[in-house]
Amino acid sequence: MKKILLSATALSLALTASAFAADLPTKKAPIVPPPPPPTWTGFYVGLNAGGSFSDSTSVNVVSTPVFLNSAPALVPFAGNAAAAAALAGTAFLSNNTGGFLGGGQIGYNYQFGSGLGGFGSAWVAGIEADIQGVSGSGGSQWVASGGPLPTPPFLPGSAIIGLTQATKSLDYIGTVRGRIGFLFTPTFLLYGTGGLAYGGVSSRTTQLSAAIDPTAVLFPTAFTSGWGTAGSYSDTRVGWTAGAGLEWMFAPNWSAKVEYLYYDLGSITYNNGFTGSFTNVVTPGQPLFLNTSWTRARFNGNIIRAGVNYHFNWAAPAPVLAKY
């Protein structure tokens, strides 16, 4: 009986000690949940900088006769002089519209899906608009050309010579593009992009010509008769763009990107005015001939740039708090 009583007392003391120990404070560290994966959904704004270079650098200037003096005695002279002047007023120049560019962008992303074939955790689709100023864009080139006057009816040494200058520049460029890409890790986005491009372009052509007539029979000066003209174009052009990029979310609200874009703003054509010369025989004071010239240039090229974005993350999930 005493043994049974001692055993029951020992068991009771052991259970009481165990319960008391359970109520003592523990030294184990609290369980901290892992941070949620970054989210790409939401609005963002950012800055970018890089460079651009032309794909097409040509500026073509073509001249053609539009009026010939109809006096019978001057018809052969007028036709030959106009043809020589058209040759002297035709030039093919090369100007690059590349330069340093910098600006900003704003956009919206939407993250969805679960990846493709096990690659990445989700897709990201969105839209982005940007605008950049271009510094150092444009080029200027002078080209000399000449058109000899046939002998006869002209004397040896008779010719029309020309000097043509053309400038071409891209002043600013902007885009409005869609973006679609996949996350091959939660923080690295590989994407393609394309849409509308617009830009401010300008071009100017200046032409100077002179007729060399040693006898001063047809032209009103003893040696040369000079003339000139100029034309220009300046406007905003609209075209298209496409490219690809890589973006890295290096902090909860910050990402950095590198991007390539091809743009095409189309071609422009403008008139440079009229050139010609007056005669001093048969019909004094009247034109011997008149020519007109046109300039054509294309604005397309490539952009390589880097940028940084701040993501507002308004759609980010709320942090999970552990309960004890």
Q: What is the pLDDT along the chain (324 residues), one digit of tens a residue?
A: 555 544 544 445 444 545 444 454 555 556 656 556 678 999 999 999 999 988 888 899 999 999 998 888 788 888 888 888 898 888 888 888 888 999 999 999 999 986 554 554 689 999 999 999 998 766 667 777 778 887 777 777 778 888 898 889 999 999 999 999 999 899 999 999 999 999 999 999 999 888 776 665 555 543 345 678 899 999 999 999 999 999 999 998 999 999 999 999 999 999 998 887 777 667 777 788 889 999 999 999 999 999 999 999 875 554 443 343
**64: Cβ–Cβ under 8 A, 6 or more apart, which residues?**
86, 291, 292, 293
Nearest to 303 by CA among 126, 204, 141, 170: 170
The structural domains of the chain, with segments of one domain joined by +, span: 41-287
H-assigned helices in 267-308: none
Which amino acid type is present at position 237?
R
Indicate the helix (H) or strand (E) that contains 196.
strand 188-212
Q: Phi and psi (nearest 5°) for 220?
A: -75, 0
* Bridge partners (DSSP) listed for residue 173: 132, 199
Q: Is 82 helix (H, G, I), strand (E, B) or coil?
A: helix
- The Cα 163–Cα 148 span in angstroms is 15
